[in-house]
Amino acid sequence: MIIIPAVDIKNGQCVRLAQGDFDRVTVYGDHPADMAKRWVEKGAQRIHLVDLDGSVAGLPKNAPVICEIAKSVSVPVEVGGGIRSMETINYYLQNGVSSVILGTAAIQDEEFVKTAARIHPGKIILGIDALDGRVAVRGWTQKTSRQAVELARCYENCGIQAIVYTDIQRDGMETGVNVEATAALAMAVNIPVIASGGVAALADIDRLLAVRDCSFFGVIVGRALYTGAIALEDAIAKTGKTS
């Protein structure tokens, strides 16, 4: 399991939201690229980027900043937020991004996602954001009746690289990762799972590593890194995954 620092971008700034609420935003820097470089210098092997404006608008809004980051760091960069066309996927992959995350598109256009995975095998990540087990889309502004596990199973054996599973209720709240729900998803599908949402302390890393019936590809850590609740070097040391 690798530790994946999150760099969320809104209006060109590095921010964190609480439970995906755009009215509860904390700005952590005016230069997201510098933040990404900082995490790489501290040992990050991968960076998770989110275009928050794009996730609501349905098309990229911070693409120049994202491409700048992708080209300025020496590790793979995964990007989500507003990616709902093949044109956008191709643009990002041609400009330094290693993987793109499809969330809203995954529930609205299954054939599109499967086509993207076929054209770009191992480059497409499924983003599943859930509240009480049910999927939310469009930057978490719309809730659906679709169950997370049900959606994930639709994309087995079609070239999906991984699933980023986010517990919305815990995201940005530092209340502890939802290990049980994340493990249940990982055990239900044959796609590697990345845990996300609520990581508050090193104990959360320990809890994920202690799961016996499955293993996780990685865990995304956001606010806890920015507040200093977790030191990236300490989290990486827990996993034994050093660059």
Rounded to an integer, what distance in angstroms lies between the CA atom of residue 90 and that of residue 101? 13
Show the domain range for 160: 2-230
Residue 126 lies in a domain: yes
Q: Is residue 243 part of a domain?
A: no
Does residue 169 fall inside a structural domain?
Answer: yes
Q: Is residue 189 part of a domain?
A: yes
| Digit-coded pLDDT (tens) for 103-125 | 888 888 999 999 999 999 999 99
pLDDT for 152: 94
Contact yes or no for 2/45 (Cβ under 8 A)? yes
Return the SS3 of 22.
strand
CA atoms of 16 and 212, how far apart (whole Å)? 32
Quote the tokens at residue 235. Answer: 């989290």
In a domain, 237, yes or no: no
What's the pLDDT score for residue 143? 73
Question: Catalytic positions, please?
Answer: 8, 129
CA-to-CA distance for 206 and 152, rounded, in angstroms? 25
- What Rg do the C-alpha atoms of the chain give, in angstroms? 16
At residue 22, the pLDDT reads 72
Residue 235 resides in a domain: no
The predicted-structure confidence for 148-182, as pLDDT tens digits, reads as follows 999 999 999 999 999 999 887 655 455 678 898 89
Count of the separate structural domains present in the chain: 1
Note whether residue 236 is domain-resident.
no
Q: Is residue 20 part of a domain?
A: yes
Alpha carbon 109 to chain centroid, angstroms: 20
Query: What CATH number is associated with residue 150?
Result: 3.20.20.70
